[in-house]
Each structure stands twice: as structure tokens, then as C-alpha cells.
Structure 1
């Protein structure tokens, strides 16, 4: 079946020609420059991939295991380097799920799994996160959705886009739910490492034999442009199936991206980079939290982790209308509507990016539009 576009990407395509002057939706940390890595790059390094591992550079795979805290549970052979977390999700999904299978997904959540399920003819069972409970994932509802036909449970932790963080106890219960029927459990961790409340949750690849952890250097480290991510799983058959599918699709072996990612994940660089990203995001998060509190037509559950959150909009406009008006003259401010995640009465707010996001300007202009909406509602 033909792959259909999801709403998030459709909105990005529709607004490509816009020239926003401010952003209230940056979803990644400030991006470093190439020059930040030149001191660690060998100018004699060959850009050929011959005689390299098809799983990715061994040194990078070691860094991936270390940053996830999986040294005692996983080996470098349990890691496949991919073109971002999106490709990792794709490779796992397409090798596991067939027509007629059932896939359990969360809402709101990363929409990729629903798109792929439609493409292969799988059935999707959606579990709604509970906004009144801080966007918690109701595990009883997950258990009720899982049955003998369930092939895959696809989740994000920290949740993308609400920032809710599942605990180790919750993950262990999810493992028990999946194991009861032999389902695979994939947890996308692109925002791991940016926790505001509590510690980083353990990676599912270390908790479950059929657990799949995906991640990348895109969000927390701002290295979206190097297109380097990973898939971690202790099932070697799945790793090889993913390699075979990649060889017949992207055939991506991005040696420059992998080298930069390996440098970025070295402990002496990773710690300071995360600290800097946290400092910038924490300041933005405090300001955004204050702004939401001041606006009578906005409310949200402050993200527990990550760089984005969902705010409920109550101003007479749905999220799409509000986002498009805000992007147009005279405001020219970009944010994503909640419909990108199946939540039409919400908007996505982001605390990533550096000075170029011009967050304060964006908030000033959004306050004007919110005020106008309030006036019209009163009329």
C-alpha cells in the first residue's frame, strides 16, 4: 500500500515558503559547528567505507552502548548505526510487522508507526495518554489493547511530544505486558538525557529480549544534520534483518556523520554538551512556563524531559487555525499545531534552539494573537 503523508510532515511542507522571524517550537538543542570537531578529525581519514563494519563504526557503537548505560547488558554487536532514529524505527518496523498484524501505539506520540502500519496493512490500536494525569500512559489500557495478534508496541520515552517520562517500574510492566503475548517493544529515546524531573529511564533493550531502543544525536546534541542514529537490540536475527533491509533501501553508511557522532559521544564532550543544552533549555522552559501561566487561554503540563510540550488552546481557534495565523503577517512566528500528533485543540511549544529562535519576540507576538482571540470570543 502507498505510504501516506502524516499531518506533521504535511504542515512542514505547506509552510516551507514561509519566512518566520521567530520560533516557539525548536525541538532540538543549539547546533554545534563543524569547526567544533576539527581538532578531533583526522584530515587523512578516508571517506570510503570498504573494510568497515556494516553495523557502523565499532567505536561509535561502543559510545552508543555507554551513553545508554547498557555496558552490562548489551555488546557492540547489538547496535546498528542508522540514518537517524527515524530510519532505525523504519527498519525495525518493516522487518517485524506484516499485513494483518496489530500494532499498539500511543497518542499523542511520534506518528511514524501509524504511517508505516497503514503502508503494510497492519491494524493500529491507539492508547490515549491521559492529559489530566500529566500525559501519563495508562498501562491498564495498554494491557487491554494487547492480544495474541499484537506484533509490536511502539512508544517514546521521554514522550514525544509531551515530555512525560516513564519510570523503570512502568517500563518493567510494559515488558511483562509484551512478553505475555511475545510482542516486540520498541521505545524511541531521542530526548533521553534531557530530564528535568528524575533520572534518565533505563533503555528497553536492556530490560527485554525483544526490546528495541532507538535514538540519535539529533535532539539533545543538536546534530540533526549529520543524520546519525541507532537501533539497539539483543536479538541478532533482528539486527541482521535490519541490515539486509537497509542494504536494499538507503544503503546508508555515513562515515563522516558517524565520525562526528562518535566524537560527540565521547565522555569528555558528551557531558559538557548535555550540560550546555540543559542550561539553555532550562532557561527557555522557565520562561515558557511563566508565559503559559500568564495566558488565560493556554494551559499545559510542564514537560518532565525533552525540549517540547503540548499546550491546550482555548481561544476560539483550533491548533491549525492558530498556527497558520501566527505564521502569517503580521506575526510571522512558527510553531506546530497539535493536530500533527492527533491533538487538534493543542499547540506544540518548544524550548530548544539558541538566540536565533528569538523566543521572546515570538512570545510577545503570540500574546497579541491570543489577546485578539480573547476579544473576539467576548464579542
Structure 2
């Protein structure tokens, strides 16, 4: 079945050439530059594949387990290095879903699972997170949605795009719900590590035999351009099926993505980078919270983790029309409309990207745009 474009990607494609002067809602930490890694790179590094393991560099896979708290629970054989978390999700979803299967997803949530489920001919059952409840996931609603027909549950933790977290107790309850019907459970962890007021939640690959953890170096470390992520699952057959499926698509990981990601995830360096990202993110979130409180009619539920959240526009403003209005002269400011996540009347706000995204100027222009729209 044909894969149909989701609204988020369609908007990005349509606005790529807009050349905004400021961005509001940047979703990843400030990106390092290649020079930050040169001292640790070998000039004689071959640009052939790693030549050691089709699953990715063994030391990189060990680092993945370490940062996820899975060392001693899962093994390196349970890890497959992928082209970002997106490929990890793709490899799992497309091998698990068959026509007529049911997948339970959350909304708002990362839309990739819905797009792939439609392509696979599966039936999508959505559990609605409610803004009035702080975007919490109702486990009662989830339990009602999961039936004997459920093949797969797909969630993100921290939730993308609201930043709401599931804690250890909630994840264990979700595992029980999945296990009751023998469903697989994917939890996308791309924002893990950027928790503001609570410890990082455990990874589902360490809680459940059919649990699949996906993640990447993109968000917390700002290394999106490396396209390096991972899939972790204790089920050996699922991991091997992912290896075989990838061999017929991207085939192997890119060696520079593997090498630089291995350097970035070395425990001491990883912690230093994460601490810096957390300091910058926390400071910018405090600034953004203050700014939102000063804007008439604009509100949001601050994220518990990650760098983005959904801002609620004043009543009557269409988010798609407003996003395009703000992208045009004289504002020249990019933001993502909430329709990308099925949330009309909202916009994605965020604090990533560092100085180059010109956040303060973007907020000033957003404030002026709102005032002009409502005038």
C-alpha cells in the first residue's frame, strides 16, 4: 500500500525554501561542529563500513546500553544501529504489522507510526492525551483500547511533542496491558536524557520480552545530521529480522555516523554534553515560560522533558494560517502548526538550537504577529 505523507513532513517540504530569519520551536540541542571531534578521529579511518559487525560498532552498541541504563540487562546482540530512530521505528513496525492487525498509538504523538500502519493495511486505534489533564496518557483509556486484536502499541517517552513523561510505575502498568494480549510495545526515547524534574524513565527493552526501545543522538546531543540511532530488543528474532530488512534498504550504517556517535556517547563525554544541554534547555524553558505568561490568550503545559511543547493559541486562530502568516514578511519566523500533530489551534514551541536560531528575536516577532493578527 502507498505510504502517504503526514502533515508535519508536508509542511516542512512546503516551507523549506522560505529562509526564515528566526525559528520558534527548534526541537534539538545546539549542534556541535565537526571540529569538536577531530582530536578523537583517526585520519586513517577507512570510509568503508565498520568491517566488524552488521549491527554497528560493538563499542557504540555498548554505549547505547550504558546511556539507556540497560547494561547488564540487555546485551550488545540486542542492539541494532540504524539511520536515526526513524529507521529503527520503521524496521520494527513494518516487520510486525500485517493487513488487518491493530496498532494502538497516542495522540498527540510522533506521527510516523500512523503513516506506516496505514501503509501496512493495519487498523489504527488512538488514545487521546488531554491538554486539560496536562497531556497525561490515561492508562484506563489505553487498557480499553488494547484488545486481543492488538498486535503493537507505539508510544514516545518523553512524549513527542508535549514533553509529558511516563514514569517507572506507568511503564510497568503499560507492559502488563501489552502482555495481557501478547502485544509488542515500542517506546521511542529520542528526548530521553532531557528530563527537568524527575529521573530518566527505564527503557522498555529492559522491562518486557516484547519491548522495543528506539532512540538516537539527534535531540539531546544535537547530532541529527549523523542520522545515527538504534533499536534495542531482547527478542533475538526481531532484531535479526530488522537486520535482514535493513540489508535490503539502507544495508549498513554509515561509518562516520557510527564513529562520531561512538565518540559522543563515551560515558564522560556524553555526561558533559548532556549536562550542557540540560543547563541551556532549562534556562531557555524558564525564559519561554515567562514569555508565554506575558502573552494575552497564549498558554501551554510546560514540558516535563525535552525541548518542545504545544502552545495553545487564542480562541479562533487557525494554526495553519497563522504559521504561514508568521513565515511571510515582515515576520520571517518559522514555527510548526499544531495540525502536524492533530492539534488545531496549537503551535509547537521549543527552546533548542542555541544562538543561531535567534529565539529571542523569534519570540519578539511571534508576539508582534499575534498582536497584528488580533488587531
Specify if TM > 0.5: yes
User: What secondary structure, in the 3-state scheme, does the structure 2 residue paired with 1:240 have?
Assistant: helix
CA deviations on 1:123-159 (whole Å, 9 max, x unpaired) are: 0000000211110000101100001110100000000
Equivalent residue for 1:333? 333
**1:316/1:373 contact within 8 Å kept:** no
What does residue range 87-106 of structure 1 map to in structure 2 within 5 Å?
87-106=87-106
Equivalent residue for 1:364? 364
Equivalent residue for 2:33? 33
**1:85/1:229 contact within 8 Å kept:** yes
**2:104/2:153 contact within 8 Å kept:** yes
**2:50/2:57 contact within 8 Å kept:** no
Q: How many residues align?
A: 375
What does residue range 1-379 of structure 1 map to in structure 2 within 5 Å?
1-49=1-49, 51-375=51-375
Q: Distance in 2 between matches of 1:65 and 1:139?
A: 28
Q: Distance in 2 between matches of 1:290 and 1:171?
A: 32
Q: Distance in 1 between matches of 2:284 and 2:292?
A: 12
TM-score (normalised: structure 1): 0.98
Q: Distance in 2 between matches of 1:297 and 1:374?
A: 10
Q: How far has the Cα of 1:317 moved from its partner?
A: 1.6
Q: How far has the Cα of 1:49 moved from its partner?
A: 2.2
Q: Distance in 2 between matches of 1:253 and 1:29?
A: 23
Please identify, of 46-55 and 187-196, the stretch whose mean Cα deviation from structure 2 is larger: 46-55
Q: How far has the Cα of 1:255 moved from its partner?
A: 1.0
Q: Distance in 1 between matches of 2:237 and 2:133?
A: 39
Q: Distance in 2 between matches of 1:193 and 1:36?
A: 21
CA deviations on 1:334-358 (whole Å, 9 max, x unpaired) are: 1100000010111000110111111
Q: Distance in 2 between matches of 1:288 and 1:160?
A: 18
User: What secondary structure, in the 3-state scheme, does the structure 2 residue paired with 1:17 have?
Assistant: helix
TM-score (normalised: structure 2): 0.99
Q: Distance in 2 between matches of 1:268 and 1:328?
A: 44
Q: Distance in 1 between matches of 2:17 and 2:48?
A: 36
CA deviations on 1:81-127 (whole Å, 9 max, x unpaired) are: 00000000000001111100000000000000000011010000000
**1:315/1:374 contact within 8 Å kept:** no
Q: Report runs of 4+ in structure 1 exceeding 6 Å deviation.
A: none
Q: Which runs of 5+ in 1 are unaligned?
A: none
**1:158/1:192 contact within 8 Å kept:** yes
Q: Distance in 2 between matches of 1:119 and 1:267?
A: 39
Q: How far has the Cα of 1:373 moved from its partner?
A: 2.8
**1:308/1:351 contact within 8 Å kept:** yes
Pairwise CA RMSD: 0.9
